[in-house]
Amino acid sequence: MGKYRLAAFAACLLLLVWGFRAMIFDHVPGVISAPEEDMSFAWFVPLFSLYVVWTERRRILAAAGGPSWGGLLACLPFLFIGVLGARGIQVRLEELAFAGLLVTVSWAFYGRRMAAAVLFPAAFLLFCMPLSSFLDVFTIHLRLFATSTSYGILKGLGAEVSRQGTVIMSGDGGFSVDVAQPCSGLRSIFALMALTAGYAYFTQRSWLARAALFSLSIPIASQLRCVK
């Protein structure tokens, strides 16, 4: 691999960690620890990424080729995203930039095959991305749609019901149904997707089989929703 290029590569990785130190040691741990995010599984995500790199180290080293100007150019948009994320303390942008730079820096120093070899462990880090406030933008519309549809059907059948926001109530107060925020549905999809991605990576040989197995995590987790 060339000791000088290897030293420069290692220095760039250390510089990358230093540049994103606030995200790594403050922003992401703070988000993971927040009760409203419900992301306790995310503590294991970077450990699993490191485990993949360690177990695949021979294949990663064997993929090393020559330096690439294309990889260097590919670093630029992720650097821009990283600066935006750091200045605005936008953890999602910071994480996207960090994962992207891990791949593109590898590409710049050792070519596309090296970038492809580290793509999965780098992309797996995105499972640390906070979802709560992001998902709520979408789920509130889904909840309102489900409530209004159910209300319309019940009224059409002659039921004496009333609706307030995401709550449907009977006219005599006999029952009240709230289409609540997903306490184990959409958020649990991310946790189950992370688990399935790791399992598929090590148990399936082709990327097509991995993708097929990975896609099954979404309909399974989508059934795990709370309705109060």
List, for residues 21-32, the tens digit of each pLDDT value: 989 998 888 878
> Within 13 Å of residue 86, how many CA atoms lie on the same side as its CB?
16
The answer to whether the beta carbons of residues 97 and 27 sit under 8 Å apart is: no
The answer to whether the beta carbons of residues 111 and 1 sit under 8 Å apart is: no
Q: What is the 3-state secondary structure (H, E, C) of 4-32?
A: HHHHHHHHHHHHHHHHCHHHHHHHHHHHH
Over 50: is that where the pLDDT of 164 sits?
A: yes
Cα(155)–Cα(210) distance, integer angstroms: 46
Over 60: is that where the pLDDT of 172 sits?
A: yes
For residue 184, what pLDDT is reported?
A: 43
List, for residues 47-64, the tens digit of each pLDDT value: 999 999 999 999 999 999
The mean pLDDT of 12-35, rounded to a whole number, is 87
pLDDT band at 153 (very low <50, low <70, confident <90, very high): confident
pLDDT band at 9 (very low <50, low <70, confident <90, very high): very high
User: What are the extents of the domains in the chain?
Assistant: 3-127, 134-178
The answer to whether the beta carbons of residues 213 and 199 sit under 8 Å apart is: yes
> Within 13 Å of residue 162, how many CA atoms lie on the same side as its CB?
5
List, for residues 70-91, the tens digit of each pLDDT value: 999 999 999 999 999 888 878 8
Over 60: is that where the pLDDT of 128 sits?
A: yes
